[in-house]
Structure 1
């Protein structure tokens, strides 16, 4: 059985039906999915957990609090991480995303 991995991007302008992609190799299915808000993220993470995904990474927009909520929602049964950056780069990130 192939392992399943997903990366979730969150932003209000995504079209969740259109903005997604999956890649399949010999032993792994890797997918990138989009959500527009925390509510959609909670629905998507539940769907992924129920579909056999073993690991999910979250983009930086999620932050630790929402990541912790999603971990609790899945009862800690799948690995969930979230992207962070070096605090020295805060100004660059703020400028880019403003």
Structure 2
């Protein structure tokens, strides 16, 4: 099974990528929700079946990626426990 993890930030999705296990696992940095949707469509066309998103996407971003892939790719996003809010605020602002 092919899967991908997307990070959103100051990235260029064409070059900020890493592949593992012969390309079955991919990590891609994207710059925006729009970039993520375009990247997700390409990943789906390349056979990726599951995309995990970093927490910056939140629910709305995850829904946008689901829509971009026509609901044919399993999409989830990372969250953290509320007791770690201060740490995440310190790290990500």
Alignment length (residue pairs): 93
Runs of 4+ aligned residues of structure 1 deviating over 6 Å after TM superposition are: none
Question: What's the counterpart of residue 7 of structure 1?
Answer: 5
Determine whether 1:20 maps to 2:20. no
- The answer to whether the 8 Å contact 2:20/2:26 transfers is yes
1:51 shift after superposition: 1.2
5+ residue gaps in structure 1? none
Q: Provide structure 2 residue ranges, at least 5 long, that are not aligned to the other structure.
A: none
- TM-score (norm. length: structure 2): 0.90
Quick one: distance in 2 between partners of 1:14 and 1:73?
Answer: 20
Q: Following the alignment from structure 2 to structure 1, what is the Cα–Cα distance between the partners of residues 36 and 85?
A: 24
By percentage of residues, which structure has more helix? 2
> Alpha carbon RMSD of aligned pairs, Å?
1.5
Q: Determine which structure has more spread, i.e. the larger CA radius of gyration.
A: 1
TM-score, reference length from structure 1: 0.86
- Matched-pair contact (CA < 8 Å) for 2:2–2:47: yes
